[in-house]
Amino acid sequence: MGNFAENTVNVRFRKLFEEMRKHHLIKNKSDLGKKLNTYNHVINAILKGDRKLTVDQILKLTQQYGVSANYLFGLDDEMFVPGHPATQEVPTLSKDLMARGGRQNIVLVPHRAVAGFSLGSQEQDYSEYPRFTIPGYEGDQLFAFEIEGDSMLPTITSGDIVVAERLRKGEVIKDNQVYIVVTDSVVAKRIQLIKEGGQVTGMRLISDNSAVYKPYEVDVNEVRDILKVKLRLTNYAIS
């Protein structure tokens, strides 16, 4: 098992767990485990720092208890989203907190939704996904993804969350920049455009960990969406 005791999300989760138990939102670890569709020993491991809180578990916390994703990521000190029904059960929340809003415009896409993720789909519903905000990052086309694997080391570490913005109409793709590319999978890669006769026919997707992961090409017709990576949220120091 890993050592995540100082991971920001784990530290915040420990404080959140005690606050939720104090205000009778949960009874114990087993109670919370059932609500998060997991087990008592998993909750215990997260509290001890042996495991990470997953994006799907964060999703359930935001849906069922009104927990602020901003709080868990260390971007805000308020634990609960103002006005969520679950917060009504917490008697110590101030009226000022309940009245405070804040436009949460970044959609956190959970693992279970990544496989079918497509901004081009008119049927895609993001209303149940957790949202958060970061000062200076405005707009309605910002999406956050948790990265798994080491293909983009050292630029992106497994467990990092990247925030990406859908390309605007007419926006040019820049070679060797990092994008989220949606085909039948969702990956973070550097892009090099492949052109024939002045027309873009495909893309070469390049991993920064090039000693292990070789570039590969996709046809332009396979690409459903492209999002430009704006920043990453990480618990690892940048050397």
Q: From CA 192, how far away is CA 44, in angstroms rounded?
A: 45
Residues making up the chain, counted from first to last: 239
Is pLDDT above 60 for 107?
A: yes
Rounded to whole angstroms, the Cα distance separating 81 from 103 reads: 11
Percentage of the chain beyond pLDDT 70 is 82
Q: Which residue has the higher pLDDT, 85 or 187?
A: 187
Q: For the segment 183-237, what is each residue's pLDDT rounded down to a tens digit?
A: 888 899 999 999 999 899 999 999 999 899 999 999 999 998 899 999 988 765 5
* Predicted local distance difference test score (pLDDT) of residue 84: 59
DSSP 120-185: T-TT---TTS-EE--TT---S-EEEEE--SSTTTTTS-TT-EEEEEEPPTTPPPPTT-EEEEESSS
Residue 117's pLDDT is 59
The DSSP code for 89 is: G
pLDDT given at position 159? 82
Give yes or no for a contact between 32 and 18, defined as CB atoms under 8 angstroms apart: no
Q: What is the pTM of this model?
A: 0.62
User: What's the token pair of residue 207?
Assistant: 């991993």
Selected residue with higher pLDDT from 25 and 90: 25
Q: What is the mean pLDDT of residues 95-123?
A: 56
Tokens of 35: 């609500």
Tell me the pairing of strands 216-219 and 106-108.
unpaired
Q: H-helix or E-strand containing 188?
A: strand 186-196
Structure tokens at 160: 């990092």
**What is residue 61's predicted lDDT score, i.e. its pLDDT?**
92
In this predicted structure, what is the pLDDT of residue 109? 85
Which tokens go with 212? 């292990």
Lowest mean pLDDT among 80-84, 171-175, 194-198, 199-203: 80-84
- Domains of the chain are 8-99 (1.10.260), 106-233 (2.10.109.10)
Q: Is the pLDDT confidence value at 155 over 80?
A: yes
